[in-house]
Structure 1
Amino acid sequence: MTIFRNGSLGEGPATYVLPDGDVPYNPTHSLDPDEEALAALGYKSEFKREFSLFTTFCVSFAVLGLLPSFASTLYYGMGYAGTAGMTWGWIVAMLGIQCVAMSMAELCSSMPTSGGLYYASAVLAPPGWGPFAAWLTGWSNWLAQVVNYGISAMILAAASISNPDYVPTDYQTFLLTVFIMILHAILSSMPTKWLAQFNSAGSTFNFVALIVVIILIPAGTDRSSRGLPRFAPSGEVWGTIYEGTSFPPGISVLMSFIGVIWTMSGYDSPFHLAEECSNANIASPRAIVLTSATGGIFGWFLQLVVAYTVVDIESVLDSDLGQPFAAYLMQCMSQKMTLAILALTIIAGFSMGQGCMIAASRVTFAYARDDCFPLSKYWKRVNQHTQTPVNAVWFNCAIGVLCLLLIFGGSLAIGALFSIGAIAAFVAFTIPIFIRVFFVGNRFRPGPWNLGRYSIPIGLLASAFVLLMVPILCFPSVTAPDLTVADMNWTCVVYGGPMFLVTIWWFVSAHKWFKGPKVNIEHMMLGREETVVIGHQGPSEDRKDGDSWSGEMRASEKITKS
Structure 2
Amino acid sequence: MDSKDPKSYRDVDHAPVTSVLPDGDVPVTDHALTSDDAVLVALGYRQEFKREFSLWTTFCVSFAVLGLLPSFASTMYYGMGYAGTGGMVWGWLIAMVFIQCVAMAMAELCSAMPTSGGLYYASAVLAPPGYGPLAAWLTGWSNWIGQVTGAPSVDYSLAAMILAAGSISNPDYVPTNWQVYLLTVLIIIIHTIISSMPTKWIATFNSWGSVFNILALVITLITIPAATSNRPKFTSASDVWGTILNGTDFPDGVAILMSFVGVIWTMSGYDSPFHLSEECSNANIASPRAISLTSIIGGLFGWFLQLVVAYTVTDIDAVMNSDLGQPWASYLLQVLPQKTAMALLALTIICGFSMGQGCMVAASRVTYAYARDDCFPLSRVWKQVNPHTQTPVNAVILNGGLGILMCLLILGGDTAIGALFSIGAIAQFIAFAIPIAIRVFVVGDRFRPGPWNLGRLSKPVGAAGALFVLLMLPILCLPSVTGSDLTADLMNWTCLVYGAPMLAVMVWWVVDARRWFRGPKVNVEHSLYREDVEGVDGVVVQETAASDAQDQKDMSDSKPQ
Describe how 1:139-154 pairs up with structure 2 within 5 A. 139-145=141-147, 146=149, 147=152, 148=154, 149-154=156-161
Q: Is 1:281–1:449's contact at 8 Å kept on the other side of the alignment?
A: yes
What does residue 501 of structure 1 align with?
A: 504
SS at 2:485 equivalent: coil
What does residue 237 of structure 1 align with?
A: 240
- Tell me the alpha carbon deviations over residues 225-280 of structure 1, each in whole angstroms, 9 at most, x when there is no partner: xxxx2101111111111121000000000000010000011000000000000000
SS at 2:520 equivalent: coil
What does residue 541 of structure 2 align with?
A: none
What does residue 196 of structure 2 align with?
A: 189
Distance 1:49 1:328 in 2: 43
Of the three residues 319, 322, 330, the one matched with 2:322 is: 319
**Once structures 1 and 2 are overlaid, which stretch shifts more, 6-15 or 372-381?**
6-15
Q: Is 2:116–2:275's contact at 8 Å kept on the other side of the alignment?
A: yes
SS at 1:87 equivalent: helix
Distance 1:328 1:534 in 2: 68
SS at 1:39 equivalent: helix
What does residue 96 of structure 2 align with?
A: 94
Q: 1:544 to 1:38 in 2, by over 3 A?
A: closer
Q: Is 1:4–1:15's contact at 8 Å kept on the other side of the alignment?
A: no
Q: Is 2:14–2:26's contact at 8 Å kept on the other side of the alignment?
A: no
What does residue 554 of structure 1 align with?
A: none
Q: 1:363 to 1:172 in 2, by over 3 A?
A: same
Q: 1:155 to 1:115 in 2, by over 3 A?
A: same
Distance 1:471 1:132 in 2: 23
Structure possessing the higher relative contact order (Cα contacts under 8 Å, 6 or more residues apart): 2
Shift of 1:534: 9.0
Shift of 1:14: 5.0
Distance 1:221 1:299 in 2: 20
The residue type paired with residue 83 of structure 2 is A
Shift of 1:4: 3.5
Distance 1:539 1:419 in 2: 43
What does residue 134 of structure 2 align with?
A: 132
Of the three residues 51, 54, 67, the one matched with 1:52 is: 54
Describe how 1:252-291 pairs up with structure 2 within 5 A. 252-291=255-294
Q: Is 1:78–1:86's contact at 8 Å kept on the other side of the alignment?
A: yes
Are residues 1:422 and 2:425 paired?
A: yes
What does residue 82 of structure 1 align with?
A: 84
**Once structures 1 and 2 are overlaid, which stretch shifts more, 427-436 or 533-542?**
533-542
What does residue 168 of structure 2 align with?
A: 161
SS at 2:521 equivalent: coil
What does residue 10 of structure 1 align with?
A: 15
What does residue 61 of structure 1 align with?
A: 63
Q: Is 2:114–2:277's contact at 8 Å kept on the other side of the alignment?
A: yes
SS at 1:443 equivalent: coil
Distance 1:203 1:545 in 2: 42
Q: Is 1:128–1:547's contact at 8 Å kept on the other side of the alignment?
A: no
Distance 2:556 2:117 in 1: 25
Q: 1:377 to 1:263 in 2, by over 3 A?
A: same
What does residue 331 of structure 2 align with?
A: 328
What does residue 174 of structure 1 align with?
A: 181
CA root-mean-square deviation: 2.1
Distance 1:522 1:85 in 2: 57
Q: Is 2:12–2:42's contact at 8 Å kept on the other side of the alignment?
A: no
Q: Is 2:369–2:383's contact at 8 Å kept on the other side of the alignment?
A: yes
Are residues 1:432 and 2:435 paired?
A: yes
Are residues 1:378 and 2:381 paired?
A: yes
The residue type paired with residue 439 of structure 1 is V
Describe how 1:459-538 pairs up with structure 2 within 5 A. 459-519=462-522, 536-538=547-549
What does residue 110 of structure 1 align with?
A: 112
Q: Is 1:15–1:534's contact at 8 Å kept on the other side of the alignment?
A: no
Q: 1:39 to 1:482 in 2, by over 3 A?
A: same
Normalised by the length of structure 1, the TM-score is 0.91
The residue type paired with residue 321 of structure 2 is D
Q: 1:545 to 1:333 in 2, by over 3 A?
A: closer
SS at 2:483 equivalent: coil
Shift of 1:408: 1.5
Shift of 1:484: 2.1
What does residue 73 of structure 1 align with?
A: 75
Identity among equivalent positions (%) equals 66
Are residues 1:308 and 2:308 paired?
A: no
Q: Is 1:129–1:548's contact at 8 Å kept on the other side of the alignment?
A: no
The residue type paired with residue 115 of structure 1 is G
The residue type paired with residue 12 of structure 2 is G
Shift of 1:538: 3.6
Shift of 1:11: 8.9
Shift of 1:62: 0.5
Unaligned 5+ segments in structure 2 are 1-5, 18-22, 529-543
- Tell me the alpha carbon deviations over residues 294-338 of structure 1, each in whole angstroms, 9 at most, x when there is no partner: 000000001110011111111111111010000111111111011
Shift of 1:480: 1.6
Distance 1:536 1:101 in 2: 39
Are residues 1:343 and 2:350 paired?
A: no
Distance 2:392 2:555 in 1: 34
Distance 2:89 2:30 in 1: 54
Q: Is 1:3–1:16's contact at 8 Å kept on the other side of the alignment?
A: no
Normalised by the length of structure 2, the TM-score is 0.91
SS at 2:472 equivalent: helix
What does residue 390 of structure 2 align with?
A: 387
Of the three residues 15, 38, 41, the one matched with 1:39 is: 41
Q: Is 1:369–1:380's contact at 8 Å kept on the other side of the alignment?
A: yes
Distance 2:553 2:297 in 1: 49
Are residues 1:25 and 2:30 paired?
A: yes
Distance 2:24 2:187 in 1: 47
What does residue 536 of structure 2 align with?
A: none
Describe how 1:360-375 pairs up with structure 2 within 5 A. 360-375=363-378
Unaligned 5+ segments in structure 1 are 18-22, 524-532, 551-562
What does residue 247 of structure 1 align with?
A: 250
SS at 1:485 equivalent: coil
Q: 1:534 to 1:407 in 2, by over 3 A?
A: farther
Distance 1:454 1:436 in 2: 13
Shift of 1:486: 2.1
User: What is the count of residue pairs matched by the alignment?
Assistant: 529
